[in-house]
Chain A
Amino acid sequence: DTEVTQTPKHLVMGMTNKKSLKCEQHMGHRAMYWYKQKAKKPPELMFVYSYEKLSINESVPSRFSPECPNSSLLNLHLHALQPEDSALYLCASSHLAGTTDTQYFGPGTRLTVL
């Protein structure tokens, strides 16, 4: 089973709201990722967690706050977002951390910021 699940599928929020995106995998993968994808563009890496610790932050604004409560879960907390943050947010996981390995993606959360 190579399934990564994400909730919610769609989210509409105002600029003053606080919301969270959730990602889950039960494949025993040790690395988890958040990507942002704008329309007709490739995914762009935001954060990487390796063994539940933040390994990479690609200079993402602090209004995006990642959290990895355990090895199966990854959250992305959103606060005071801007309309330009509207995008598809993808979660991914890979079995190995710190070496080349296939990343498996979830279906994404379509976020609209009003």
Chain B
Amino acid sequence: GESVGLHLPTLSVQEGDNSIINCAYSNSASDYFIWYKQESGKGPQFIIDIRSNMDKRQGQRVTVLLNKTVKHLSLQIAATQPGDSAVYFCASQGTGGFKTIFGAGTRLFVKA
């Protein structure tokens, strides 16, 4: 079945350093990938997305890389700030949309 998994459950980084959060997916039919940030007591917040016909997409301080060959997705956060502390979920959708499959989540701690 389809699953989206994360390599590490927690990640601790120093303020100002770059963060890399990794994600593996199993369904080669996944067509669309999204990263969400969820702070304590809040709903998931959209960060950045990428479609399967791309291998890199950049936003403000964030970059998503997609390697379809090994079914791997990563989120890079530049100059990590205390406000980046949260749980990060990768998620995927097949071509029909609707069903978003979430990974287990990685908790990012930013040390001042």
Q: Which A residues form the contact surface with B (CB < 8 A)?
A: 2, 4, 6, 31, 33, 40-45, 48, 50, 55-56, 90, 92, 94, 96-108, 110
Contact = CB atoms under 8 A, between A and B. Distances in A.
Interface in B32-85: 32, 34, 36, 41-46, 49, 51
Contacts of A110: 41
Interface of B: 31-32, 34, 36, 41-46, 49, 51, 89, 93-100, 102-105
Contacts of A41: 104-105
Contacts of A105: 36, 43-45
B41 to A, nearest CB: 8
Contacts of A6: 43
B98 A55 contact: yes
A96 B95 CA distance: 12
A50 B46 contact: no
A90 to B, nearest CB: 5
A100 B43 contact: no
A33 B41 CA distance: 19
A59 to B, nearest CB: 13
